[in-house]
Structure 1
Amino acid sequence: MESALGPPAEMAEIAEELTPMMSQYFELTDRYDDALVLFQVGDFYEAFCDAARAVSRTCEVTLTKREDNTGRYAMAGIPIDNAESYIERLLDAGYRVAVADQVQDPEETTGVVDRAVTRVVTPGTLTEDELLGGADNNFVAALASGYGLAVLDVSTGDFYATNPTSPAAVADEIGRFGPAEAIVGPEVSADAFDADCMVSPYDETAFERDAAAERVREYFGDPDTYGLTDAEVRACGALLSYAEYTRGGGAAATGEIPEDPSEADERERLGYLNHLTHYDPREYVVLDPTALESLELFERRSVRGVEGATLAGVLDETANALGRRRLTEWLRRPLLDREHIERRHDAVAELKHDVVTREALHDALRDVYDLERLISRVSRGRANARDLRSLKDTLDVVPELKSTLADAESDLLVDVREGLDVLEDVRDLVGSAIREEPPIEVTEGGVIREGYDAALDELRATERDGKQWIDDLEARERERTGIDSLKVGRNQVHGYYIEVTNPNLDSVPEDYQRRQTLKNSERFYTPALKEREDEILSAAERADALEYELFREVRASVGEETERVQGVADRVARLDVLVSFADVAARYDYCRPEFSKTGVDVEAGRHPVVERTQESFVPNDVHFDREEYLAVVTGPNMSGKSTYMRQVACICIMAQAGSFVPAASADLRVFDRVFTRVGASDDIAGGQSTFMVEMTELADILSEATPESLVLLDEVGRGTSTTDGLAIAQAATEYVHDEVQAVTLFATHHHELTAVADDLPGAFNLHFAATETSDEVRFDHSVSRGAATASYGVEVAQAAGVPESVLERSRELLAASESVDEGEVPAVGPDVEGSAPASDGEHATLDEFASVSAGSEAVARRLREVNVADTTPMEALALLDEFKRELDD
């Protein structure tokens, strides 16, 4: 994060000489010294000194100067009407932004207008739709010593607490939520957080046990009733404190001005935070960041600029934002409890077969707005009239949903139906009070329905009657004066007037009093017009004030029902995901998975993402049991090994999330965790090579996996020499088989590993075959028992467009290597016979050198120590010469 931008040091010396406004600004920068303060001055947010330079540079706005009796200050401003777009740039640059609004009406203030910070905008505490940019959760996390972790979405009220048991488990849970921001307590490392997450130390007193417990009690009740550990209590309390800090107080985002300016300095309690989800990580399948990335559950992998699909994307037929967030939650946290999994499957099965009900529900769910974010704005006093109408429109859908579910039989659908509170009182209140298409601003009238309040109706009637009297005035005055061009109008400065052109001034009556002189006309008013104007303005001002007060009362009343609305939102979100799962299952021929076996038995399984992106997809079976649980998978490049492995993982994750799966049938076991070591990557910033990253991931798997885990290993050991790589791969295979005993798919090009199946009783071979003709190699993409006979790497290189000269030389070297394997003495150059080393720039392989020196144990031992991958042709020739001299001796 960028450094704080408070007042420059020299300001301390002249603090007493500062103007009242600048004193006010620098007081706020002192109070919010971790943020860049944007200070309202009229229609702009201004920044001064170093903060101004940062705003100018980041937002690309002009840097100007402000001058007063103490000197000249750099100044830069952004328009309030378009502030969110500039704030977004500042956030992207790594700043927190403290927004200081005017909390007094300038027209009613004789001195400097009071200002106060009304919100601190940070990456993890966004609530503004313009900044959130979508339906996905936006989390902020707090991590306390002792592995206490709390996570909050300020925009929806989703609040989670857990206590992982190790640094690795903490990192897994953080990866599950992917927070945009985090605060950490004393003596807590930020290493567990992703580089994109803004991590900052926070007030140590907020992490103290007693203060934190009191804050948790204020929001959720006694921490002991949730079974929170001390570490969790400290994390929750600090996170609540931080959320309050970022919300500020006083003026709302809608531009409302509080009656009492001191409100802006009070701690704002977040009344919509009323439910804490306390969970044990062991209640859900663990999907660490590596698994989430390699299986492409949520993040798309770009290949040559073309983005692929994700598992979440192909399963997402949800109709609203509530469902989209809940779908993501279910995929991030698949279930371990078989009974709960099957309850979801029962509901999906019922909806899949009842097409009429499913389509009716989907159509109704399209009309649902984001209830969670709506009610959070209502509860915080930040909702406008349109938000209330959107909330009512959504609640109007609830009776239709209940009616459509009237005949539902599965437990989960019955639970959803019974839990759908129609909130008739809230719907009636908003419907009777708020106009159907109200303006955005709530302080300028036009919000409250006619007939809701008699006093307001009377004031509006007075205003309307007065305006009608004025509308009729023009015709009356024309008739009375005989001036046909006479006009009645109004402007903001002079109010209502009667305008007469200069040629007709002689006809102006005596009771006309001059108000304004123009070039070609004069403007007048009459005592009667002035009286009516005063009546209209008085009635309009009183009506606007009363209407605003009535709106606040309605909003507060709705806010009192926050918990009921959140309950409806929860049921609607669940229903939307179940309907989405059923729709996908029906449309793409998914089957209901069973959980009757201890292994995995899938018939004609497909990869849910790949099958959507290819014209044809070859299904494959999967079979593991207690006796055979480790498959060594071999086959040509591009034959489908990686797809097959990921397919198995996706099917298992989908099933435990509650979805049907892409297969003819699936009999599965419940996995506690999915591990992946798939693909090549490095960590340049962390100083780790591709091979080091690979080994780190392998170490995590070997130490954390259990017999109830699913393990995917792809090409382990390829980042080092062939000898080292094969040794590591074989040792890892034996360890997984003997010690871990997890269901494992191990894809490899080390064909020597296929012999492992003969020695390890729980291992077996699978391979992907290819059909070779004189013209091409065709990959069948079908899996069979047994080991592959070739990798066809040269053919894949040809398909990729590698130059023909390289391909031809590759074939020569491959043929030479194969002849060595068959016990023949190779020709080491294209024009040389016998065993003499290559010359004149021709290259030879180290395998050929090995055959020449096969008669010497010492030479053979030294040759085995050679790192083939790091040996240049010239070094190889030097080694050959050295070995030859040793043999001749």
Structure 2
Amino acid sequence: MDEALGPPPEMAEKADELTPMLSQYLDLCERYDEALVLFQVGDFYETFCAAAETTARILEITLTQREDSTGTYPMAGIPVDSAESYIETLLDAGYRIAIADQVEDAEAASGLVDRAVTRVVTPGTLTETELLADADNNFVACLTDGYGLALLDVSTGDFYATTLDRLDAVADELERFDPAEAIIGPDAPTDPFGADCMVTPYERSAFGLDAAEAKVRSYFGEGRLAEDAEIRATGALLTYAEYARGVGTDGETGRLEYLTHLTRYDPREYMLLDAVALRSLEVFEPRHVHGLAGAALVKTIDETASALGGRTLRDWLRRPLLDADRIDARLDAVGALRERVEDRERAGELLADVYDLERLVARVSRGRADARDLRALESTLSVVPDLRECLADATADSELLATIESELDDCADVRELIDRAIAESPPIEITEGGVIRDGYDETLDELRATEREGKAWVDDLEARERERTGIDSLKVGHNSVHGYYIEVTDPNLDSVPDDYHRRQTLKNAERFYTPELKEREDEIIRAGERADDLEYDLFRSVRSEVAGATERIQRTASAIARLDALRSLATVAAEHGYRRPTIGADGIEIDAGRHPVVERTGGPFVPNPTELPAEKPMAIITGPNMAGKSTYMRQVALTCVLAQVGSFVPAERAELPIVDRVFTRVGASDDIAGGRSTFMVEMTELAAILEDADANSLVVLDEVGRGTSTRDGYAIAQAATEHLHDAVGAYTLFATHHHELTAVADGLPRARNYHFSASRSPDGVEFEHDLRRGPAEASYGVEVAEMAGVPASVVDRASELLDEPADERATEPTEVGAANARAENASTDGGREELLAELAAVDLAETTPLDALNLLSRLQSELR
């Protein structure tokens, strides 16, 4: 991408000879050398030289040329009025965009029109509604060495900072917040960032402790951050956000006044859901099976009516609580709203009319809000009194709802100002009139009256002139080039009075003006232009006054957001039979628990109990494939997550401990690009669990040791089971096909065996999806193979082999057996020669990268 960035060499070499406009373009390219500069020339944003060639190619627009005394330069442009769609395409191609607007009226300018970069558009600093993909947060992250991490949503003002102790913890936080962009300091790692995140080293000076600390202090005062690393990350991120803001349409630079709140948090203050757990539990994104996506937990419980509520609910899911009092406060609020159906439904209707206050006030504060934005702000604030009324009864049963009700400020003074100043249905453009209400400003009213009176005089002129001249076909008209005119056809020219002055000649007519018409025209134009200019000044004044109430509006936005999230949880609880959990219990006890997502798929769902008391926190679960083991374990984990979010849970009864972390090892996956097999990924995840889990954690294991030989796999599974039991003591659900583990569990005092029942019938296996005590009697693997369509001959042979004693089963040299024999033979010189011959015979031209990797892995294994 670098070919389109930085100052054009062709221009830089002739800097002293360039025209003033191109010199101005070159200067902006030098100052914003990491961005693609879109340079306003009239109604178009233009690019030049290599940037033009790149722009034309990516946007599929025409490449033209600009020629002057210094040379000929490639040029490509996009219309200012429809720039957003083009900018989105450039962002998707991986570019930052510096928007260089004309900040001076071209007609009023004497000489070169002044231009300045009014915003730098990057994936993580978007504020434009058209470019933001949805209502969810759009974070830009900043990471330093020492693992200081800051995250900012420029569109809403949400701002977080923390210091982490290791790299995998950084990866977990980035998975939770999913930033669209990141800047990194000197020596900071790039490994934890996903492929969809634009990562860029930022200027070293922004990460200096003194500079960063001064920047943080200027926004948030003293003592907000504890660690040097997070101070450097936060300060550098503020500097970057100011850089992206540009000079602003008001000509001011720098400070973002709406950044009024910084949340310094410790991930250990919340339930930790690492990247593996978020994915395997499908909290935010569903898994794709055979190309088909299911549903994510967030979609299942999201009944929010506003963008504000939706973002808050996602934030709660990112960071479930560990404090029992805070959890119970949310549960009280959900319970109060659940019982008050009419108030809850009325609140939902009101919230559906709420605009995104956080993004609205951010645009107001940045000087980018238009008149319709202010009207949307007033409309949203106007529902606040009714929302407070909806909460009047519920506050008696919930301190949290009482707090929210007290924070719902309708900002009556702001509403009154907007309603008095801004037209009810204003135009989009704020510079072309029609924005300010009649009666708001006396001078504006006088100018409008003058303009109206002048136009009324012109409207009556046609009738008067026809009567005066006797020309019945005479017409009075107006166009943008010649202004007002009186048109007379050629046959009637002899009747034209002496005070008519020729203005324009047409094919069959002449156009005239009179001194009085010209005077009225000048009066109308002057009044209209002055009115438009005054309206713009008045609008900016109103917008600035509204911006002064930013903190109050943000508090109201926060209250609305929490109310909507709580109302959503109450709605889900009421409509789907969720029950209030008891928090802080000594163990996990769930009656008739259900999976919140799977139960909504339409088919029958069999509820199941869970009993993991503190004295026996481990369950070894056996049973056939498709019996429901994985679904069951996930539903227990999701029940704990929902409870600590403050939600009722899908169960008849739930008594739950406060879980500090949920670990999962579920399903098969690999990392071919990273050189890791399925088994290596499995072992890496298992290692993290065994190292980090403690007695307050919930561990979900779905098969361990299946990616290697049966003997090795069972040994690993047993050793892991014993370690979790003896050394960790976590609440553990371990599903396995290693039936030998059931005997191990019988010998462990804090473990129990459970199984999912199934039975044989003439039609095959019937899965009852019912959890019972004790180990499973069989795996029913052959029956499942038959149901899956495995050929009858294979099924019959497998059944025969199962009926034989293990030591009598035939060991014919199958393909697998032959491979094993070759592996044993590989230790001899002859075996190595065979492998070398096989390698020499490979046709590399016909071998895909994946086939080559698999071949190399097999040969290496055989040599070992």
Is the pair's TM-score, using the shorter chain for normalization, greater than 0.5?
yes
SS at match of 1:739: helix
SS at match of 2:116: strand
The one-letter amino acid of 2:134's match is G
For residues 785 and 73 of structure 2, the distance between their equivalents in structure 1, rounded to whole angstroms, comes to 64
Kept in 2: contact 1:600–1:668 (CA 8 A): yes
Residue equivalent to 1:592: 580
From the superposition, tell whether residues 301 and 2 of structure 1 become closer, same or farther in structure 2 (CA, over 3 Å): farther
CA displacement, residues 726-747 of structure 1 (integer Å, 9 cap, x when unaligned):
1211111111111111101111
Kept in 1: contact 2:212–2:231 (CA 8 A): yes
> Is residue 812 of structure 1 aligned with residue 797 of structure 2?
yes
Kept in 2: contact 1:631–1:744 (CA 8 A): yes
CA drift of 1:560 comes to 0.3
For residues 13 and 416 of structure 2, the distance between their equivalents in structure 1, rounded to whole angstroms, comes to 60
For residues 201 and 6 of structure 1, the distance between their equivalents in structure 2, rounded to whole angstroms, comes to 16
SS at match of 1:522: strand
From the superposition, tell whether residues 2 and 651 of structure 1 become closer, same or farther in structure 2 (CA, over 3 Å): farther
Kept in 1: contact 2:330–2:646 (CA 8 A): yes
For residues 411 and 351 of structure 2, the distance between their equivalents in structure 1, rounded to whole angstroms, comes to 17
From the superposition, tell whether residues 662 and 2 of structure 1 become closer, same or farther in structure 2 (CA, over 3 Å): farther
The one-letter amino acid of 1:228's match is A
Among 227, 230, 242, the residue aligned to 1:229 = 227
Superposition misfits of 4+ residues, deviation over 6 angstroms = 842-849
CA displacement, residues 229-252 of structure 1 (integer Å, 9 cap, x when unaligned):
21111111100000000110133x
Kept in 1: contact 2:3–2:51 (CA 8 A): no
Q: Structure 2 matches for 1:559-578, cutoff 5 A?
A: 559-578=547-566
> Is residue 507 of structure 1 aligned with residue 505 of structure 2?
no
Residue equivalent to 2:282: 296
SS at match of 1:712: strand
Q: Structure 2 matches for 1:22-101, cutoff 5 A?
A: 22-101=22-101
> Is residue 180 of structure 1 aligned with residue 180 of structure 2?
yes
> Is residue 155 of structure 1 aligned with residue 141 of structure 2?
no
> Is residue 454 of structure 1 aligned with residue 452 of structure 2?
no
The one-letter amino acid of 2:345's match is E
CA displacement, residues 178-235 of structure 1 (integer Å, 9 cap, x when unaligned):
111111111111112222211111111111111111111111111x1x2422111111
> Is residue 287 of structure 1 aligned with residue 285 of structure 2?
no
Residue equivalent to 1:527: 515
The one-letter amino acid of 1:280's match is D
The one-letter amino acid of 1:314's match is T
The one-letter amino acid of 1:290's match is V
From the superposition, tell whether residues 705 and 539 of structure 1 become closer, same or farther in structure 2 (CA, over 3 Å): same
For residues 334 and 805 of structure 2, the distance between their equivalents in structure 1, rounded to whole angstroms, comes to 59
From the superposition, tell whether residues 20 and 784 of structure 1 become closer, same or farther in structure 2 (CA, over 3 Å): same
The one-letter amino acid of 2:608's match is N
The one-letter amino acid of 1:244's match is E
For residues 595 and 588 of structure 2, the distance between their equivalents in structure 1, rounded to whole angstroms, comes to 16
Residue equivalent to 2:427: 439
Q: Structure 2 matches for 1:465-864, cutoff 5 A?
A: 465-802=453-790, 804=791, 807-821=792-806, 825-826=808-809, 837=812
For residues 798 and 819 of structure 1, the distance between their equivalents in structure 2, rounded to whole angstroms, comes to 19
Among 364, 371, 374, the residue aligned to 1:378 = 364
For residues 481 and 662 of structure 1, the distance between their equivalents in structure 2, rounded to whole angstroms, comes to 88
Kept in 2: contact 1:820–1:848 (CA 8 A): no
For residues 815 and 88 of structure 1, the distance between their equivalents in structure 2, rounded to whole angstroms, comes to 63
For residues 799 and 498 of structure 1, the distance between their equivalents in structure 2, rounded to whole angstroms, comes to 90
CA drift of 1:512 comes to 1.3
The one-letter amino acid of 2:304's match is T
Kept in 1: contact 2:35–2:95 (CA 8 A): yes
Kept in 2: contact 1:292–1:298 (CA 8 A): yes
CA drift of 1:269 comes to 0.7
CA drift of 1:64 comes to 2.5
Kept in 2: contact 1:820–1:847 (CA 8 A): no
For residues 444 and 513 of structure 1, the distance between their equivalents in structure 2, rounded to whole angstroms, comes to 31
Residue equivalent to 1:834: none
For residues 721 and 748 of structure 1, the distance between their equivalents in structure 2, rounded to whole angstroms, comes to 15
The one-letter amino acid of 1:315's match is I
Residue equivalent to 1:864: none
SS at match of 2:452: helix
Kept in 2: contact 1:103–1:250 (CA 8 A): no
Residue equivalent to 1:852: none
SS at match of 1:145: coil
Residue equivalent to 1:886: none
SS at match of 2:805: helix
Among 401, 415, 429, the residue aligned to 2:403 = 415
Kept in 2: contact 1:673–1:705 (CA 8 A): yes
CA displacement, residues 309-335 of structure 1 (integer Å, 9 cap, x when unaligned):
111001111010000000000011000
From the superposition, tell whether residues 234 and 38 of structure 1 become closer, same or farther in structure 2 (CA, over 3 Å): same
Kept in 1: contact 2:225–2:231 (CA 8 A): no
SS at match of 1:141: strand
Residue equivalent to 1:20: 20
For residues 166 and 792 of structure 1, the distance between their equivalents in structure 2, rounded to whole angstroms, comes to 44
For residues 624 and 604 of structure 1, the distance between their equivalents in structure 2, rounded to whole angstroms, comes to 14
Residue equivalent to 1:403: 389
CA drift of 1:57 comes to 2.0
Kept in 2: contact 1:4–1:33 (CA 8 A): no
From the superposition, tell whether residues 844 and 196 of structure 1 become closer, same or farther in structure 2 (CA, over 3 Å): closer
SS at match of 2:305: coil
For residues 214 and 574 of structure 1, the distance between their equivalents in structure 2, rounded to whole angstroms, comes to 33
Q: CA RMSD in A?
A: 2.1
Kept in 1: contact 2:370–2:429 (CA 8 A): yes
Residue equivalent to 2:835: none
Among 378, 399, 424, the residue aligned to 2:412 = 424
CA drift of 1:12 comes to 3.5
For residues 78 and 460 of structure 1, the distance between their equivalents in structure 2, rounded to whole angstroms, comes to 35
Kept in 1: contact 2:785–2:795 (CA 8 A): no
CA drift of 1:69 comes to 2.5
> Is residue 239 of structure 1 aligned with residue 225 of structure 2?
no
Among 248, 251, 268, the residue aligned to 1:250 = 248
Kept in 1: contact 2:138–2:155 (CA 8 A): yes
CA drift of 1:814 comes to 4.5
For residues 724 and 472 of structure 1, the distance between their equivalents in structure 2, rounded to whole angstroms, comes to 100
CA drift of 1:153 comes to 0.2
For residues 103 and 586 of structure 1, the distance between their equivalents in structure 2, rounded to whole angstroms, comes to 55
For residues 795 and 299 of structure 1, the distance between their equivalents in structure 2, rounded to whole angstroms, comes to 33
SS at match of 1:54: helix
For structure 1, list consecutive stretches of 5 or more residues without a partner in the other structure: 252-257, 829-836, 850-870, 880-889
Residue equivalent to 2:841: none
Residue equivalent to 2:261: 275
The one-letter amino acid of 1:231's match is A
SS at match of 2:107: helix
The one-letter amino acid of 2:153's match is D
> Is residue 125 of structure 1 aligned with residue 125 of structure 2?
yes
Kept in 2: contact 1:4–1:34 (CA 8 A): no
Kept in 2: contact 1:2–1:94 (CA 8 A): no
Kept in 1: contact 2:764–2:787 (CA 8 A): no
> Is residue 362 of structure 1 aligned with residue 385 of structure 2?
no
CA drift of 1:596 comes to 4.5
CA drift of 1:170 comes to 2.0
For residues 576 and 629 of structure 1, the distance between their equivalents in structure 2, rounded to whole angstroms, comes to 36
Residue equivalent to 1:115: 115
The one-letter amino acid of 1:12's match is A
Kept in 2: contact 1:52–1:63 (CA 8 A): yes
CA drift of 1:28 comes to 1.3
Q: Percent identity?
A: 64
SS at match of 1:479: helix
For residues 677 and 2 of structure 1, the distance between their equivalents in structure 2, rounded to whole angstroms, comes to 42
The one-letter amino acid of 1:671's match is V
The one-letter amino acid of 1:741's match is G
CA drift of 1:511 comes to 1.3
